[in-house]
């Protein structure tokens, strides 16, 4: 356990993270201060670390604290906070919206143009010992859910949102493209949502082995396969059927194409993965003539309570994704391990 200092993982410039003591923040009205416990490393953290930007939309102009998949223990209450007490263990939903715009009013607050999202410029992240956050976006964890699991509610919430956007329901046949952390949580949530056949694709056999432990009923290594070959193998795995829904988590052009070709007429493809290009080719004729719905997702809204229930009930065992743990002092080593593609989910203990 760290001392009373506020060691923080600060992204200084491309490829440079410094561990610095920063002032301990005090909670504003409506906020709580937390002693942080677990912070998962996300692909976006690694991308900012390497490039100081994600596309042209998110550019880090000055040093920024990383981290947004996090949990902690409440140490101080700001004025007016009534939903939490000092000592509560909480999971932190990283995006705090404005509450006033039309999207917030409609409940689609993930689309709020003024959302303040941790470790998204210009907002500092939570990879530090002490952090303050809006109390209404902190979720008290029951004793049966650990702080590490609390941090992983963040990627799990992404999957809850994706599966909701795909309308996954009992008896569905689902294709999940890409078996990285986000593909794996989608397989878990699809399974918990009642999907009975779940095919996971990837180009790495180790990841596909993991997918089998996360709800995948079938896995297929698509490396070297033609689109037609992969479509046919998936159809055979699904007992001669096409998938009802596909959740594309790789962002790779061939994978998006495979998803569109692998769902049945009237099926749905949800695009979760983001590749390096803003524009990719899609088979429009195949999509239009078969009335396939292609849907985007952006983060999540109203998904933390469901993610927490999935873990609490045991329907999702999120902790099995954690392959490495590092103390905050070894943040750089943790990021380098993630960049090398080792392991699945890497968690930093603050």
Q: Residue 218: beta bridge partners? A: 199
By CB under 5 A, residue 181 contacts Zn ion: no
What is the closest distance, in whole angstroms, from the C-beta atom of residue 30 to Zn ion in the complex? 16
Q: Are strands 243-248 and 218-221 parallel, antiparallel or unpaired?
A: unpaired
Query: Which DSSP string corresponds to 42-63?
Result: -HHHHHHHHHSEETTTEE--S-
DSSP label of 27: P
What is the closest distance, in whole angstroms, from the C-beta atom of residue 160 to Zn ion in the complex? 13
What is the closest distance, in whole angstroms, from the C-beta atom of residue 330 to Zn ion in the complex? 20
Which of the ranges 50-58, 93-101, 197-205, 322-330 carries the binding residues for Zn ion, by CB under 5 A?
93-101
CB nearer Zn ion, residue 107 or residue 171: 107
By CB under 5 A, residue 106 contacts Zn ion: no
By CB under 5 A, residue 66 contacts Zn ion: no
By CB under 5 A, residue 301 contacts Zn ion: no
CB nearer Zn ion, residue 37 or residue 173: 37
Q: Indicate which single residue of 86, 98, 236, 284 sits in contact with Zn ion (rule: CB under 5 A).
A: 98
Alpha helices in the chain (DSSP H): 43-51, 102-106, 147-151, 153-165, 181-192, 205-212, 227-237, 253-262, 284-289, 304-312, 331-339
- Cis ω before 204 (30° cut-off from 0): no
By CB under 5 A, residue 104 contacts Zn ion: yes
Dihedral sign, CA of 278, 341, 307, 70? Answer: negative
Q: Residue 141: beta bridge partners? A: none
Q: Indicate which single residue of 27, 67, 95, 97 sits in contact with Zn ion (rule: CB under 5 A).
A: 97
Which of the ranges 99-107, 134-142, 222-230, 326-334 carries the binding residues for Zn ion, by CB under 5 A?
99-107
Helix orientation angle between 304-312 and 153-165, rounded to the nearest 10 degrees: 110
Q: Are strands 322-327 and 345-349 parallel, antiparallel or unpaired?
A: parallel
Total residues in contact with Zn ion, by rule CB under 5 A: 6
CB nearer Zn ion, residue 50 or residue 85: 50
Q: Indicate which single residue of 19, 24, 46, 101 sits in contact with Zn ion (rule: CB under 5 A).
A: 101
CB nearer Zn ion, residue 103 or residue 263: 103
Taking CB under 5 A as the criterion, which residues in 26-45 touch Zn ion?
A: 42
CB nearer Zn ion, residue 98 or residue 236: 98
Q: How many CA atoms lie within 13 A of 152 on its CB side?
A: 28
CB nearer Zn ion, residue 104 or residue 220: 104
CB nearer Zn ion, residue 101 or residue 332: 101
* 3-state class (DSSP) for residue 153: helix
Contact (Cβ atoms closer than 8 angstroms) between residue 253 and residue 246: no
Can you tell me the distance from the alpha carbon of 213 to that of 235, in angstroms, rounded to the nearest whole number?
A: 22
Cβ-based neighbour number of residue 187 at 10 Å = 30
CB nearer Zn ion, residue 13 or residue 98: 98
CB nearer Zn ion, residue 104 or residue 238: 104
Taking CB under 5 A as the criterion, which residues in 269-298 touch Zn ion?
A: none
What is the closest distance, in whole angstroms, from the C-beta atom of residue 172 to Zn ion in the complex? 25
Which residue, 217, 210, 223, 224, is CA-closest to 182?
210
What is the closest distance, in whole angstroms, from the C-beta atom of residue 151 to Zn ion in the complex? 10
What is the closest distance, in whole angstroms, from the C-beta atom of residue 193 to Zn ion in the complex? 21
Burial of residue 123 (CB within 10 Å: 0-12, 13-18, 19+) is: middle
Which of the ranges 6-14, 80-88, 91-99, 117-125 carries the binding residues for Zn ion, by CB under 5 A?
91-99
What is the closest distance, in whole angstroms, from the C-beta atom of residue 252 to Zn ion in the complex? 19
By CB under 5 A, residue 112 contacts Zn ion: yes
Can you tell me the distance from the alpha carbon of 234 to that of 199, in angstroms, rounded to the nearest whole number?
A: 7
Site residues for Zn ion per CB under 5 A: 42, 97-98, 101, 104, 112
């Amino acid at each position: 356990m760290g001392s009373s200092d506020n060691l923080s993982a600060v992204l200084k410039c491309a490829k440079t993270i410094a561990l610095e003591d920063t002032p301990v923040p005090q909670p504003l009205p409506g906020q709580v201060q937390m002693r942080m416990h677990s912070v998962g490393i996300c692909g976006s953290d690694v991308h900012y670390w390497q490039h100081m930007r994600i596309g042209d939309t998110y550019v880090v102009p000055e040093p920024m604290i990383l981290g947004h998949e996090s949990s902690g223990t409440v140490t101080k209450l700001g004025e007016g906070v009534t939903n939490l007490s000092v000592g509560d263990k909480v999971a932190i939903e990283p995006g705090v919206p404005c509450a006033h715009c039309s999207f917030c009013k409609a409940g689609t607050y993930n689309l709020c143009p003024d959302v303040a999202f941790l470790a998204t410029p210009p907002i500092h992240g939570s990879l530090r010992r002490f952090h303050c956050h809006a109390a209404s976006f902190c979720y008290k964890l029951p004793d049966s859910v650990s702080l590490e699991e609390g941090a992983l509610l963040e990627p799990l919430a992404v999957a809850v949102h994706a599966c909701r956007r795909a309308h996954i329901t009992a008896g569905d046949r689902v294709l999940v493209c890409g078996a990285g952390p986000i593909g794996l949580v989608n397989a878990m949530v699809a399974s918990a949502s009642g999907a009975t056949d779940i095919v996971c694709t990837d180009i790495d056999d180790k990841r596909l082995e993991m997918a089998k432990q996360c709800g995948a009923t079938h896995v297929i290594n698509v490396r070297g396969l033609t689109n037609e070959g992969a479509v046919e193998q998936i159809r055979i795995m699904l007992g001669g059927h096409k998938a009802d829904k596909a959740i594309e988590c790789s962002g790779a052009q061939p994978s998006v194409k495979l998803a569109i070709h692998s769902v049945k007429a009237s099926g749905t493809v949800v695009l979760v993965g983001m590749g390096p290009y803003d524009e990719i080719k899609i088979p429009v004729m195949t999509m239009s003539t078969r009335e396939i719905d292609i849907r985007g997702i952006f983060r999540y809204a109203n998904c933390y309570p469901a993610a927490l229930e999935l873990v609490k009930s045991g329907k999702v065992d999120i902790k099995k994704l954690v392959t490495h743990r590092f103390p905050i002092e070894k943040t750089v080593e943790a990021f380098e391990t993630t960049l090398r593609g080792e392991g699945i989910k890497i968690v930093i203990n603050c």
